[in-house]
Structure 1
């Protein structure tokens, strides 16, 4: 074929078929790589924008946020406008003094914080998988467990697994359950019934007895038992709504045909220790875990009365997320909690015994 004849054909006609196929494959691979890199960069940019939004929302000051984030003020303003356009809402009210979140902005801020928390935990879990172990365990516990059981369990765990560190959140049952469901915590220890969240594993590990706690100088001080009905005539100090202790008490009253709304609730407090201080001051009585007044020192100030209607027990439960594979360290903690004899022995010990054992090792 002559030169003149060849020029009338498109370029791809004169490229050999194998070479053409190789070029197409190379082009396709390059295009996919570019698309993937673009998607990755886009997600990283979204995370950075969320960090910026959170910073501005918490400082109420674009200038200060720009300095902290090493960004220009126009860049932050532009990104905020892009977010507002994307969601079709105004997130900030601008004033001469700075910026404040609108109602829409407050809603968006709540979700941004959750997303950033989830991403932070994701990085930790990914790093843990790469090292074949998770050295930092995020635990959640309700007040009674957090104050009277968990510290001794952690002391025991630190002796047998010194390489593991624990970060503990103390909150009520509903809060811990939600955090486990949202993968913010690895293991939760809660008391009483829970709201059913999907993807939650619930395993009971202890039966806790509830008693009526009174000051030693109370008129009932010579008694050992009390009826549920008698509670209605007393000033009662309770935990806040959402606590396991309060839920179990209300269920017990309903089972006896009594209305929990008839309780004379004098105070609602969020701390076991605060409730004990109010009791010893003579300002009321409370339904609490037997564990909270079991020490020798407590027995000098308080008396625990059992219920004539029969003992009231509530389960202590282990919560985990069914979607997350447990590490060896998490499994070790859960196995320990299921060893009833071991837990009973741990709870009965004083802290100095753990220190003595630690020094021996």
Structure 2
């Protein structure tokens, strides 16, 4: 009840939401304030607003209710002998090239766990974790700082320039970022981790990202690779995503001469929500550097 009043700023509206009378809600709010020896709301003709003490109490209430909801879900699953579910949001590179092998390992030891995975860009995943729509988010590159968002790095990735073997640069092993504006560039969409890291790398080296000749923006790394393979441009993407293509002589990978362009792959969780045992096991697997390195060396498609 307190949480609803705090979010509506209106006792009458909350009473309607909760199917209670307005006097009953008002009385219980006063009883709550009396129990804690403070005022949680400033009252006016326009409604109510949280006091400083009320804001502190509200943050604690949100955390407690989230823990209780998660506990209820777990107990209900046990009581009904239901399969457990981990809801994941992941960015493109991790979702296509790292996560499948990690989930395969987890499934072997915990076959009763199901996974719901959605691939989205970094900004969308961060917001979904904050709203508890995803239990865990896996992103590439930086994300906006938020007090309710816990960010843990689990892998360092390098961005490389990829060109088809028919490109004049195919005989080289490296390139400077200053050379890229002269080429047709195919990139991920705005909001993606790859795009952010690329633009930050240009700025850090005193170059203007707006000078890039971006001729195409695509929503997936796989689509970018197909466009580059067709000779429609070059791209800067994760080195994790092109190893198989390089082996088949489709792409040539060029490192950045100035300095390697690297980024952290990170795990996002909601700081106000506790993780289940299954989710903690998955997070532990992701922090196992040797395990990830071994999984990346395997190609289950061949």
Calculate the TM-score normalised by the size of structure 1: 0.63
CA 1:175/1:42 → structure 2, altered by over 3 Å: closer, same or farther? closer
CA 1:134/1:318 → structure 2, altered by over 3 Å: closer, same or farther? farther
Whole-Å separation in 2 of the counterparts to 1:245 and 1:297: 20
| Alignment partner, residue 128 of structure 1 | 74
Q: CA deviation at 1:265?
A: 0.3
Whole-Å separation in 2 of the counterparts to 1:266 and 1:163: 46
Q: 2:173 aligns with which of 195, 211, 224?
A: 224
More deviation in 276-285 or 122-131? Answer: 122-131
CA 1:299/1:181 → structure 2, altered by over 3 Å: closer, same or farther? same
| Alignment partner, residue 239 of structure 1 | 188
- 1:17-36 to 2 correspondences below 5 Å: none
Q: SS at the partner of 1:295?
A: helix
- 1:150-299 to 2 correspondences below 5 Å: 150-295=99-244, 299=248
Whole-Å separation in 2 of the counterparts to 1:130 and 1:123: 10
Whole-Å separation in 2 of the counterparts to 1:236 and 1:187: 32
Whole-Å separation in 2 of the counterparts to 1:160 and 1:295: 28
- 1:310 paired to 2:259: yes
CA 1:258/1:41 → structure 2, altered by over 3 Å: closer, same or farther? closer
* Contact persistence 1:212–1:286 (CA under 8 A): yes
Calculate the TM-score normalised by the size of structure 2: 0.74
Q: Residue deviations 1:43-90, cap 9 Å, x none?
A: 489xxxxxxxxxxxxxxxxxxxxxxxxxxxxxxxxxxxxxxxxxxxxx
* Contact persistence 1:231–1:263 (CA under 8 A): yes
- Return the index of the structure with the highest Cα Rg: 1
Q: Which has the higher contact order (CA 8 A, sep 6+)?
A: 2
Q: Residue deviations 1:112-155, cap 9 Å, x none?
A: xxxxxxxxxx9776322444698101001000111111111111
Q: CA deviation at 1:351?
A: 2.1
Q: Residue deviations 1:289-319, cap 9 Å, x none?
A: 0011111676421111001111111000000
Aligned residues: CA RMSD: 2.5
CA 1:41/1:136 → structure 2, altered by over 3 Å: closer, same or farther? farther
* Contact persistence 1:199–1:323 (CA under 8 A): yes
CA 1:214/1:262 → structure 2, altered by over 3 Å: closer, same or farther? same
- The gaps in structure 2 that reach 5 residues or longer are 1-13, 21-67
Higher helix share: 1
* Contact persistence 2:187–2:224 (CA under 8 A): yes
CA 1:266/1:304 → structure 2, altered by over 3 Å: closer, same or farther? same
Whole-Å separation in 1 of the counterparts to 2:157 and 2:246: 21
Q: SS at the partner of 2:244?
A: coil
Count of paired positions: 241
CA 1:197/1:298 → structure 2, altered by over 3 Å: closer, same or farther? farther
| Alignment partner, residue 270 of structure 2 | 321
